[in-house]
Amino acid sequence: MKKIKVSAKELKRLGITNPKTVVAIGQVATRVAKEQRYSKLQILEIISNIVAQPNSKHWNKTPLKPLVDIIREYAVAVGKPDYEQDEFSYIDLLPHPQRFKVYGDDCIEAGAFAQMETAMSLPIAQQGALMPDAHEGYGLPIGGVLATSENVVIPYAVGVDIACRMCMSVFPVDADYLERKGLSLNQLLVANTVFGVGAKNKNHLNTMVFDRPEWNATNFIRKHRDLAFSQLGTSGAGNHFVEWGTLMVTESCAELHLEKGEYLALLSHSGSRGFGSEVASHYSRVAMEKVRLPREARHLAWLDLSSQEGHEYWIAMNLAGHYASANHHEIHSKIARGLGIDPLVKIENHHNFAWRESLSDGRPVVVHRKGATPAGKGEIGVIPGSMTHPGFVVKGKGQALSINSASHGAGRSMSRSQALKKFNWDDLQKVIRDKGVELIGGDIDEIPMAYKSIDTVMNHQHDLVEILATFQPRIVRMADADRRRRR
């Protein structure tokens, strides 16, 4: 592995200026990066998170403890991180983070705790929760739920892939159809899906979503309408997928309108594509220009919904939600048409979005779920596993402490770069073969071993959701792998 060296200039940007501290951190960071197989970007992000919350108890039992000790000593010496002074004044964070509910704290990494503590130090934070699949992201951790004051929204707490969502079609066909017609089901996936960053599609089945008047609501939306149109019916890279599998319903379920049995089902995971990314990037920049926060909280800048920019973002975010749903419907409709069978039921839900809701005490808030499934009382959703592990159709229990939320999946146990260093193509082929899964495309960074145990995650949220049915992947379509890694 190439030796990682953290420069004095890079540490200065993170608020560390003392020469002796810079040398000490550089030496320890090099050792930790080698031991834990971190990339340069990862170790800098880790140092940034420790600088933001050096006294968080969650750092004490991690391999990062040597780094934490040095940074804590520096923080005590200077009183606070010695950030470079800019021409503007920061909005102060609360002196101590407000408490938040944690589900499955034994399987959540320290960085996610630190990010959630920063979010709960915002003066606009009202309530928070951390789901058992949580891991580090940008701004709010993935698996983080944050309720803010009723008139503000944080673009980065919604996420870059606005309205990333799940969609499942359940067909009136026995599960053994997979054994008898596996080749044709494989061909249906290949013929009716398009994957990858920037992927486009000219073969549209239903473009009614573009009749919505919101496409003309702002100059920004109008500017990106053609991009959205060109990507309708496509999926991204990374953990986005379209897959065939079996859905086991152990008892007749009125909520799903399904009798007891095992069904053929199609499950997809994708979001609002380039349009949502453009919306997120643009309005995050606007928010950070308008609300100047300390360095550790900069990605949690918010927009006032009564402002022009806040109003525009809210329109664009909700439009991205409608577009993401239409994206899934386009894929499912094409495949159902190719199959020649209409689905019995369709189940879907967002897990990167913001909603106007009320807390249990009646306070009106904006609830940000970044990688979290809505789980209000009686609400139906889908929580997937990995490409070989089961997913679940669930019914929410309306738990107030979780802000009516649950996990959005198993959650990563290691970063993509770590997975690429630890595993190879043969490892991926072996695990899918052992599990009886056929993989079309896919890459090593999505190997099932890079994810937490979905069973462990589900065990941590008995209070949040009831499992109605279990989905087992069998034929999985993902973006094609980087060919250089297949040698």
CA distance 134 to 112: 7
pLDDT greater than 60 at residue 87: no
Contact predicate 97/118, CB 8 Å = yes
Q: Which pLDDT score is estimated for 81?
A: 41
Amino acid, res. 80: K
Question: Across 179-276, where does the E strand assignment appear?
Answer: 241-249, 261-270
pLDDT greater than 60 at residue 368: yes
Average pLDDT, the chain: 90
Q: Could you tell me the CA-to-CA distances from 97 to 34, 108, 118, 453 in Å, in that order?
A: 32, 18, 7, 29
State the pLDDT confidence band at 2, using cuts at 50, 70 and 90: low
Give the 3-state secondary structure of residue 396: strand
What's the rounded mean pLDDT across residues 20-33? Answer: 82
Q: Which pLDDT score is estimated for 193?
A: 97
pLDDT tens digits, one per residue of 122-173: 999 999 999 999 999 888 999 999 999 999 999 999 999 999 999 999 999 9
State the pLDDT confidence band at 82, using cuts at 50, 70 and 90: very low
pLDDT greater than 80 at residue 84: no
Long-range CB pairs of 60-66 (<8 Å, 24+ gap) are 62/109, 62/110, 63/32, 63/35, 63/36, 64/32, 64/110, 66/28, 66/31, 66/32
Q: Which pLDDT score is estimated for 80?
A: 45
| Cβ neighbourhood burial of 383 (10 Å; 0-12, 13-18, 19+) | buried
CA distance 205 to 232: 10
Q: Which pLDDT score is estimated for 463?
A: 97
pLDDT tens digits, one per residue of 105-127: 999 999 999 999 999 999 999 99
Domains of the chain by start residue, with CATH: 8-78 (no CATH), 165-486 (3.90.1860.10)
What's the rounded mean pLDDT across residues 13-39? Answer: 78
pLDDT tens digits, one per residue of 288-336: 989 989 888 989 999 999 999 999 999 999 999 999 999 999 999 999 9
State the pLDDT confidence band at 408, using cuts at 50, 70 and 90: very high
Query: CA nearest 283: which of 247, 248, 308?
Result: 308
Pairwise pLDDT comparison (7 vs 98), residue with the higher score: 98
pLDDT greater than 50 at residue 86: no
Pairwise pLDDT comparison (76 vs 333), residue with the higher score: 333
Tell me how far the alpha carbon of residue 162 is from its chain's centroid. Answer: 10
Residue with structure tokens 């953290």? 6
Contact predicate 451/142, CB 8 Å = no
Name the token pair of 186.
């494989």
State the pLDDT confidence band at 62, using cuts at 50, 70 and 90: low
* Packing angle, helices 19-36 and 40-52, rounded to 10: 130
Q: Which pLDDT score is estimated for 61?
A: 60
CA distance 449 to 26: 31
Name the token pair of 462.
């008995």
Q: Which pLDDT score is estimated for 89?
A: 43
Pairwise pLDDT comparison (418 vs 469), residue with the higher score: 469
pLDDT greater than 70 at residue 484: no
How crowded is residue 241: how many other Cβ atoms within 10 Å of its Cβ? Answer: 27
| Cβ neighbourhood burial of 252 (10 Å; 0-12, 13-18, 19+) | exposed
Please give the DSSP secondary-structure letter assigned to residue 373. E
Q: Which pLDDT score is estimated for 70?
A: 81
CA distance 167 to 153: 26
What's the rounded mean pLDDT across residues 223-245? Answer: 96
CA distance 299 to 426: 38
Query: CA nearest 133: which of 418, 461, 472?
Result: 461
pLDDT greater than 90 at residue 40: no
Long-range CB pairs of 357-361 (<8 Å, 24+ gap) are 357/147, 357/403, 357/404, 359/126, 359/127, 359/147, 359/400, 359/403, 360/400
pLDDT greater than 60 at residue 191: yes
Max Cα–Cα distance, the chain, nearest Å: 71
Whether pTM > 0.75 for this model: the answer is yes
Contact predicate 383/145, CB 8 Å = no
Q: Which pLDDT score is estimated for 379?
A: 97
pLDDT tens digits, one per residue of 414-462: 988 899 999 999 999 999 999 999 999 999 999 999 999 999 999 999 9
Name the token pair of 188.
């249906």
Give the 3-state secondary structure of residue 409: coil
Amino acid, res. 91: I
pLDDT tens digits, one per residue of 41-50: 677 777 777 7
Please give the DSSP secondary-structure letter assigned to residue 423. -
What's the rounded mean pLDDT across residues 182-198? Answer: 95
Amino acid, res. 475: I
What's the rounded mean pLDDT across residues 34-42? Answer: 73
Q: Which pLDDT score is estimated for 485?
A: 55
pLDDT greater than 70 at residue 182: yes
How much of the chain exceeds pLDDT 90, in percent?
Answer: 74
Name the token pair of 413.
């146990």
pLDDT tens digits, one per residue of 192-232: 999 988 899 999 999 999 999 999 999 999 999 999 999 99
Q: Which pLDDT score is estimated for 433?
A: 96
